[in-house]
Every structure is written in structure tokens, then in C-alpha cells.
Structure 1
């Protein structure tokens, strides 16, 4: 997975995507997501590192089977709240 961390005044913003979706655009009717290098591009990370970072995140954006599945397994995202955009899972969470 590709992991990016950004410190913001509101806390840690994390973006995670599967390598195979980086640079792709997915559309489903009026809903569209572009997995841009600018936002999602970062370092390759192992599952354990991504899990640790998600646990510290204030906000997270996730795209791809592996990234979203890990967030579900770790209890950060409920499966019922995952969007499927052109067959690709996308989820976000905000910790307040």
C-alpha cells in the first residue's frame, strides 16, 4: 500500500491507497474519485505500518481493496459505510 501522512492544525491526515489504483480515476454516475499522485502518492508501506498510522490518524482517506479492508479489520471503518465507485472501494473516517 502507499501511505502518506500530513500533520495539519487539526491533527494527522492520512491517505492510503493500493498501488494498483494510484493515478486512476473511478466514476459511478455523478460520483468520481481521482487517486492522484499529489494527494495519495507517498511511500510504500507494510500492513503493520499502515495499521499503526491509521490508529493515530485524525482523518483518513482510503482507496482500494487492501487499504479499505485493513481499515475495516482494524475497526476504523464500518463495512456498511464503504462506497464502491466503479467497483473500487473508497472510505474515509474522521476521529473527533
Structure 2
């Protein structure tokens, strides 16, 4: 899994999390197109423990990939059906206000 932490203008964290093998690819489903770029999702490989720790406190998370989505569901951060499939790959966001 790859993870990158961005800071918004309001100093809130915006997290990009994806399955490693998806980086550098573009996926399209209807009018939606997702480019899984290193600029957003990063190149820092992280452990499941690190991901869970970071996601528990994150304000805004974009998740792309089967393993990342399954991990978020397992830890109660997302519901099993709360994703959109883009070319069969789960895509979801978490936004905490």
C-alpha cells in the first residue's frame, strides 16, 4: 500500500491511499476517470498498522484499491458497500467534518 499525506490551506490532512500495483495507471468508468498518480498517492510504502493509525485521525481520505478498501472496512472506517467500482476496482472517500 502507498500513502501520501497532503496539508490543506486550513492545515487539515488530506490522505491518498492506494494499492501499490495501481500507481501510474488510469482507470475509467463512464464519465469518471481516475489517474493513480505518485503526485497524489505518493510512493511511500506503509504497513497495515501505519495505515490504520493514520486513517483513524485523518480528515479527508481518498482510497483506491481492493486491499486498501478491505482494510478500511475491516477496521470499521467504511461500510462494505460504500465504494464505487471503477473498472472493477473499489474507490471511496472518507470526509470528517
Runs of 4+ in 1 over 3 A off after TM superposition: none
What are the Cα deviations for residues 21-79 of structure 1, in whole angstroms up to 9, with x where unaligned? 01111111112111111111131000000010000100000111111111111212112
- The aligned length equals 96
| 5+ long unaligned stretches in structure 2 | none
Query: Are positions 1:6 and 2:12 aligned together?
Result: no
CA distance in 2, matches of 1:32, 1:78: 23
* TM-score, length basis structure 1: 0.93
Q: CA RMSD in A?
A: 1.1
Alpha-carbon deviations, 1:1-40, whole Å to 9, x = none?
0011123215211111011001111111112111111111
Q: Distance in 1 between matches of 2:68 and 2:86?
A: 15
Q: Indicate yes or no: 2:68 matched with 1:72.
A: no
* Structure 1: distance between partners of 2:21 and 2:33: 17
State the distance in 1 between where 2:27 and 2:7 align: 27
**2:18 corresponds to 1:39:** no
Separation (CA, whole Å) in 2 of partners of 1:11 and 1:78: 24
Instruction: Give unpaired runs (5+ residues) of structure 1.
Output: none
Q: Confirm or deny that 1:57 pairs with 2:58.
A: yes
Aligned to 2:29: 28
